Amino acid sequence: MIEATAVILAGGASKRMNGQDKSYAMYSGKPLIEHALKAVKKFSDVIITASKNNYESHRAWLYTSGYNNVRVIVDHEGGKGPVGGIYTGIYNAVHKNVVVISVDTPLIDEIFFEYLLGEQTDYDAVVPVSEGMLQPLCAVYSKSIESVFSTALEKGHLKIIRLLEELQVKEVDEKKWVKQGFNQNMFMNVNTYENLRQLNGTSE
């Protein structure tokens, strides 16, 4: 097992999917949440951050699906977006390195997080770059920056990209990780039913 905490961000409102919890949208015959769990299956500590609205459904699904060692924790800062979800994960993490994955990115390779952890030396965060953009919802954070997220939330600073500007970040260039054989499409995410249809036409 990898001695790091994995956090699956699964507390979003899914407003562009008519309020339906995207965690259970089906891709390649499995709900998105199962793809996320597969991506972090090697980690010794796994957390799902949930909203008050989907906490019980996540717990019930995990129980019936046999995921007995996964913790479900209600987002401390409900309605505060990814910054609130990441803070909740970091706050509850039991390891110094915290891997974050959004529930709506089912193409992420489980080996990718091991690769990112290999890039972590003493950075606040290790964040991959795709198509010229940082991907902070598929990244590694240090538990030591918990207070940075807490302060940002107190001040109402909810833009994760802006917050990264305050941190010592290792950016992992796309050319570098593609050279390692990772799928260039793996950051495709599901925000709408149209995204889901497009994704179901894309090979893993």
79-98 per-position pLDDT tens digit? 889 999 999 999 999 999 99
In this prediction, residues 31-42 reach a mean pLDDT of 96
* Domain-embedded: residue 90: yes
Element (H, E) at 199: helix 193-199
* Domain-embedded: residue 56: yes
Strand partners, 134: 129
pTM over the 0.85 mark:
yes
Q: So what's the pLDDT on residue 204?
A: 43
In this prediction, residues 25-47 reach a mean pLDDT of 95
* Domain-embedded: residue 103: yes
* Domain-embedded: residue 204: no
Nearest to 146 by CA among 113, 124, 122: 124
Q: Which domain holds residue 104?
A: 2-199
The number of folded domains in the chain is 1
* Domain-embedded: residue 188: yes
pLDDT band at 16; cut points 50, 70, 90: low
Task: Provide the angle, in degrees to the nearest 10, between the axes of the packed helices 55-65 and 32-39.
Answer: 70
Residue 202 reports pLDDT greater than 80: no
CATH code of the domain containing 155: 3.90.550.10
